[in-house]
Amino acid sequence: MPGSGTDKTKRWIETPAPVVVLVEPQLGENIGAAARAMANFGLSRLRLVRPVQGWPNDKACMMAAGADRVLDSATLYDTLEAAIGDCTFVLATTARNHDQAKPVIGADKAAAEMAPHVAAGETVALVFGRERNGLENHEVALADRILTLPVNPAFASLNLAQAVVVVAYEWFKLVTNGALPFSMPEKSSPAPKQQLDAFFTDLERELDAIEFYRPHEKRGTMSVNLRNIVNRMVPTEQDIRTLHGIFMGLAQGRKGPARGGVLDGAQAEMLRSLIADQGSASPRTRAPARGLAKLLRRNPTEAERILWEALVNDRRFAGRGFKRQTPIGPHIADFVSFPLRCVIDLAPGHEHEAASQARDSKRIWLEQRGYKVVLVTAAAVEADVATVLDSLATALAKGAPSP
């Protein structure tokens, strides 16, 4: 499992790169921290000249924080001359002016000058001095370039590992063209205009219902401003689905056992069976439709929950005005779109004869008043809701009474 950045499941980058030479490093911790900086930016060859605390060093391993590969392959030398003996291009890093007539360059220019030598198969060395006083004059004299950094002249000395990480960063940025290891994931494509229009249609309808647009003569300007607010965000499809669900939830109240419901799935099924049985009773003995509709909205069955979530997130039906558990005269429609004059009747898997007769009566009553009634079974919804929606879209397009 990757930690804060170390991922052992990924390939270790092993590309040609400069050698890092540490001259008489005083603390094992600094060697370990330098090795960690090297590993961060693709440098793997470390050479040590007479480390003061000896080698190997447990404190170096502790500070390397997983860069053991760099430490395990580190080589020891008695002199700097021996450490750079096979190198054709050497850069001495220093924060002090050694008054030597050789080019002085920064870390970015150093990376650019090292690159062709490394690409040609030559050995290039970056030499770093002691923590206390850096490199001596005779050591700087062995180098082809002096490498320094634009730092505060009153406090120019960097920690050894800090100096290594700055130079290594510039090298790695050059050879990788500054490519970042990851970018913002594209989890959803930009929202199409059709989805945005459906979103604004529902939003403006609900805002009209609460008389948000006041004074009324400014409705057009306020509506344009709302659209511009959303469009400036460049929302994705998922963004609009989320926002659509939020404001419709606020507009229509809490739904489902997880948001205010009091019945579990089995109890919700029993409630619907009782209500269906009452459908064949006389109007005088029926329960008030609005109270039942509110109770049903708060306690959906599993099939109803699945179908509703699929319905409101499908662009073919978004903005078509579908509502859940809505009274129509003496009946309660599972799903209804008044603009489409369409009712979706969700039938349970098992139903008493009285409830079935009541369902038929409700269908006849609705069809007499110009509604298309589409019968959908709970089993079909739970098995494959996508197929149910495809059939529903076909039925609505053809004006057929059922899929």
Convert the pLDDT of each residue in 30-68 to its tens digit. 999 999 999 999 899 999 999 999 988 888 888 888 788
β partners of residue 89 = 124
β partners of residue 374 = 344
- Does residue 24 have a pLDDT over 70? yes
Q: What share of the chain is helix, strand, coil (3-state, %, to 5)?
A: 45, 15, 40
Q: pTM of the prediction?
A: 0.53
Distance, in Å, from the CA atom of 105 to the CA atom of 238, rounded to the nearest integer, reads: 50
The encoded tokens of residue 366 equal 């609705």
The encoded tokens of residue 153 equal 């002249």
Torsion of CA 42, 30, 107, 104, to 10 degrees: -140
What is the per-residue pLDDT for 165? 95
Residue ranges covered by each domain of the chain = 19-175, 184-252, 263-403
What is the per-residue pLDDT for 308? 87
- Does residue 98 have a pLDDT over 70? yes
What is the per-residue pLDDT for 127? 96
What is the per-residue pLDDT for 230? 92
CB 56 within 8 A of CB 32: no
- Please, what is the end-to-end C-alpha distance for the chain in angstroms? 49
CB 9 within 8 A of CB 115: no
Distance, in Å, from the CA atom of 188 to the CA atom of 203, rounded to the nearest integer, reads: 22
The domain 263-403 having CATH identifier 3.40.960.10: the answer here is yes
Count CA within 13 A, CB hemisphere, residue 272: 30
What is the per-residue pLDDT for 274? 56
- Does residue 401 have a pLDDT over 70? no
CATH class of 184-252: mainly alpha
The domain 19-175 having CATH identifier 3.40.1280.10: the answer here is yes
Distance, in Å, from the CA atom of 332 to the CA atom of 323, rounded to the nearest integer, reads: 11
Average pLDDT over residues 122-126: 96
Q: What are phi and psi of 97, to 5 degrees?
A: -80, 115
pLDDT digits over 65-91, tens only? 878 889 998 999 999 999 999 999 999
Which residues are within 8 A (CB) of 41 and not within 5 positions of it... i.e. 6 or more apart? Answer: 165, 168, 169, 171, 172
Q: How confident is the model at residue 172 (pLDDT cuts 50, 70, 90)?
A: very high
What is the per-residue pLDDT for 347? 85
pLDDT digits over 263-295, tens only? 555 656 665 665 555 544 444 444 444 555 666
